[in-house]
Amino acid sequence: MSVPNKCSGCQRQLHKREFLRCMTCKSTYDLECANVSYKLFNIMKKKDQWSCPECMSKKPKTGNINTPIRTSASSGSMEDSAPSPTQDMNITHRRQISKPTHETSFCEQDCSSPETSTQNTKQDDMVTELKQYMNGLICSQVDSLRAAITELTDTIRTQNSRIEKLEARVYELENRSNEHPNITSFEKTIAGLQAEIHDRDQALLLNDVEIAGCPETPNENCTHIVITLAKKIGVDIDEKDVVSAERAGPPRPAAQGGGPTRPRPLAVRLTRRATRDALLRAARVRRNVTTEGLPGASSAHLCYINERLTKHNRQLFQKARERSRACKFKYVWTREGNVFVRQEDGKPRHRLRSEEDLERVFPSI
């Protein structure tokens, strides 16, 4: 049997071989439109004798036309009771009919249409199959729902257990903190040790200076730049006085708009501390020294010679300058790697060693 294109009921494509063809109108229906389950379809033996609902509704209903012929007496009585021509012929007159005998009932049963009995049997089978299918579907859904509820209950019970353990642990930690009131002293000790470590790191840079603003060129000689700049501010040094001179930090990306890139500072380590102090004193006297005459300088720009600070002190110095501008402090400076501030002339100076000192010295903004 060739597979048709569309279902006559829902007009959808029939992509499977599970369909039914009406033996009267030859129309094809899928199992859903035919109201036939897949299991019932498989057990149907005569699929070619199936009739669609539309053809079943058009078939006339069967009556009692095959009943045995009554006797003449009964016929005469019926003729006597027939309505006159003057009466309304559209009215059906019924009379009491005696209960049929066993023989008559057997005759009527034998004379009934076999096709009607077959259709009734099929409908009963379909209803039974549908009830069984619905019962099985409901049972499976109920089982899956019970399993999901059981799993969810177990999950909630597990989470509650974990929460109770966490609460017990937090309670234990809180009790421990109450049992050890010296935690504050421990924190102060740790802060003091950190400050001592920062001071030792800064002491390792006592022979270093940082030069900012010098132009940066490829394949440059940093030692020659340092010697030239020192002679420009009035300090004579030799190459033997310079242990190392190099650019600090990674290369900086090009500026937006094609402008010149800001040069990286020069980190210079000298052999003696006296030479470093001489450079810093000369730089404080000649504050307006420029890069004119230095190697690779295309134009004159200001350059600065300062103490080299550790990362911690450099960040602390930057925050101190920002706070000073906001709180109108007049002086912020560094000496021997230490950061100092003073509000104005005649006021005491304050040394800053940590973030707590910033909060203590500067009023809240």
Beta strands 304-307; 208-212: pairing state: antiparallel
Give strand pairing partners of 30. Answer: 19
Dist CA 335 CA 277 (whole Å): 11
Structure tokens at 345: 């002339």
| Residue 83, pLDDT score | 44
| Residue 65, pLDDT score | 55
Dist CA 170 CA 177 (whole Å): 11
Query: Which residue in 215, 317, 325 sits closest to 265, CA to CA?
Result: 215
| Residue 202, pLDDT score | 92
107 CB-contact burial (10 Å; exposed 0-12 / middle 13-18 / buried 19+): middle
Domains recognised in the chain with CATH numbers: 1-55 (3.30.40.10), 206-250+261-307 (3.30.70.1820), 311-361 (no CATH)
Give strand pairing partners of 306. Answer: 210
Structure tokens at 41: 């379809």
Cα distance between the two ends of the chain: 91
- Secondary structure element (H or E) that encloses residue 107, with its range: helix 102-111
Task: Classify 14 as helix, strand or coil.
Answer: coil
pLDDT digits (tens, 9 = 90+) for 226-273: 999 999 999 999 999 999 999 998 888 876 766 678 889 999 999 999
Dist CA 29 CA 14 (whole Å): 9
Dist CA 212 CA 278 (whole Å): 18
Task: Classify 306 as helix, strand or coil.
Answer: strand
Q: Which residues in the chain show pLDDT less than 70? A: 1-4, 15-17, 45, 61-116, 177-183, 255, 257-259, 364-365
| Residue 252, pLDDT score | 82
Structure tokens at 123: 């409908």
pTM check: above 0.85: no
Dist CA 145 CA 39 (whole Å): 25
| Residue 141, pLDDT score | 85
pLDDT digits (tens, 9 = 90+) for 5-20: 788 878 887 766 678 8
Q: Beta strands of the chain (E only): which ranges?
A: 19-21, 28-30, 208-212, 242-247, 266-270, 304-307, 331-335, 338-342, 349-352
Cα 11 to Cα 7, 47, 48, 198, distances in angstroms:
5, 21, 21, 84
Contact in structure between 21 and 7 (CB atoms under 8 Å): no
Task: Classify 260 as helix, strand or coil.
Answer: coil
| Residue 73, pLDDT score | 42
Task: Classify 245 as helix, strand or coil.
Answer: strand
| Residue 82, pLDDT score | 44
Query: Which residue in 179, 205, 189, 214 sits closest to 289, CA to CA?
Result: 214
